[in-house]
Amino acid sequence: MSKNIGFISTRFAGSDGVSLESAKWAEVLWDDAHVSYWYSGRNDRDTACSYCIPEAYFGHPENIWINDRIWGHTLRDPKVTDRIHALAKYLKQTLYAFVDFYKIDILIPQNVLAIPMHVPLGIAVTEFLAETQMPAIAHQHDFYWERSRFSVGAVKDYLDMAFPPSLPNLHHICINQAAIEQLGLRKGVTASLMPNVFDFDNPPKQSVDSYTADIRKEIGIDNDDILILQPTRIVPRKGIEHAIKLVGMLNDDRFKLVISHDAGDEGLDYKYQLMELAEQEGVDLRFFAARIGEARQIDHDGKKVYTLWDIYQHADLMTYPSTYEGFGNALLEAIYFRVPVIINRYSIYVQDIEPKGFKLLEMDGFITPQLVKLVRRIVDDPSYKESIVEHNYSVAKKYYSYTVLRRLLRQHIAQLTGDAPDEFLPKRERGEHN
């Protein structure tokens, strides 16, 4: 029953949610003998199983030209329509070539049918699926109606058609319950729930190896300092000002706040505001993005580059004061590495995650003295900290492990192809007896 799986996205590279979660899906599918192949505009996967089409990248000049003329406008020039159709036609041809070259059996579009960062690619995938009736599972991370930048545009006809489409051969999987509800209301499309996952069946090694032994020194903090990790990009919705406020209220020089990512293409104004706020609050704020990469290596200055997982091994606490998250991959990472989490009760957390029974240090939009007291207890009482992180790991293993994902993917593949794994067959067909 081995299948060739074709993943489709604008990009499979870096540490964005689509790239990370698609790699996890491929790992789970590999356990069932399915082989994954990658179609995208940018790609850091193995070249032997990759099909890289530069025009499929959302940052390609042709797509940027189109986006500049369709978002923030309500009138679409016929020339823009022609360019959209031309690029969609070309990309559809490359999809046919990709499927033929690797003998793809099932396609998994990763967010390209949800958020219209590349409208021609969404059209191309939709038309390809309609023309071929190939089985497909769309993994939807975030929809256009969840982003204000897509609220005004000149492509409503394409949004209705392709973001996402309603096709009998296309199943939908969303990462949170709110998305499922909105998808049903807006599109009349049903979907399954599959949040982000982590390999909780295989705990991480707890020992710090020789490569990372000097990471605190490289950050510029002492071994007895309290490393509070903010493992996110520096963008306003991450609510990093709350992390600074918390450290300021702790009023203890041992606490150091370390941000692992940079602002990227979102602009630097928010970063400068955080630096100013940290100075006002007397908070020791460190930026370490320049030394964090996808893999361990040596940079051009001869300095070590660490992975995000390396720094988790040294973190004493993690702050996650986001105002909005589609799910929250960093939350699972912290739980996996048994790091206590200080979290803001964003909407998806309240609806999907909080009811699972985690023991997290919660805030509701602002820092309270009670939260500060809990943070101090975590730091000063190792047995209390141990009980919390072990409890959280156990809960996450139950709800967010690879086992949960494997079960759902098997179900969808069986429904789409008619090939059911042994566990779905009646006992007599498995060779078992009552």
| 215-399 and 4-197+401-424 share a CATH fold | yes
Map out the domains of the chain as residue ranges: 4-197+401-424, 215-399
CA distance 319 to 239: 10
Does domain 215-399 sit in CATH 1.10.3720.10?
no
Dihedral pair phi/psi, residue 377, rounded to 5°: -65, -40
Query: Tokens at residue 240, please?
Result: 């990093």
What is the per-residue pLDDT for 153?
97
CATH H-level, domain 4-197+401-424: superfamily: Glycogen Phosphorylase B; (3.40.50.2000)
SS3 298: strand
Biggest alpha carbon–alpha carbon distance for the chain: 72
Question: For the whole prediction, is pTM greater than 0.85?
Answer: yes
What is the per-residue pLDDT for 329?
86
Q: What is the DSSP letter of 349?
A: I
Strands, sheet with 341-344, edge to edge from the N-terminal-most edge strand: 284-287, 255-259, 226-230, 317-320, 341-344, 361-363
What is the per-residue pLDDT for 426?
45
What is the per-residue pLDDT for 115?
95
What is the per-residue pLDDT for 423?
58
Q: Where are the alpha helices (DSSP H) in 251-381?
A: 269-281, 308-312, 329-336, 347-348, 369-380
Q: What share of the chain is helix, strand, coil (3-state, %, to 5)?
A: 50, 15, 35
**Among 241, 258, 72, 40, which Cα is nearest to 149's?**
72
What is the per-residue pLDDT for 148?
87
SS3 226: strand
Query: Tokens at residue 331, please?
Result: 């939350």
| Helices 119-132 and 61-70, axial angle in degrees (round to 10) | 100
Are 40 and 71 contacting, i.e. CB atoms less than 8 angstroms apart?
no
Q: How many CA atoms lie within 13 A of 64 on its CB side?
A: 5
SS3 294: coil
Q: Which residues contact 262 (CB under 8 A, 6 or more apart)?
A: 233, 234, 271, 287, 289, 290
CA distance 37 to 413: 16
For tokens 């069932």, the residue is 32
CA distance 288 to 272: 15
Q: Which residues contact 206 (CB under 8 A, 6 or more apart)?
A: 313, 338
The residue ranges of the chain whose pLDDT is under 70 are 206-207, 264-266, 420-434
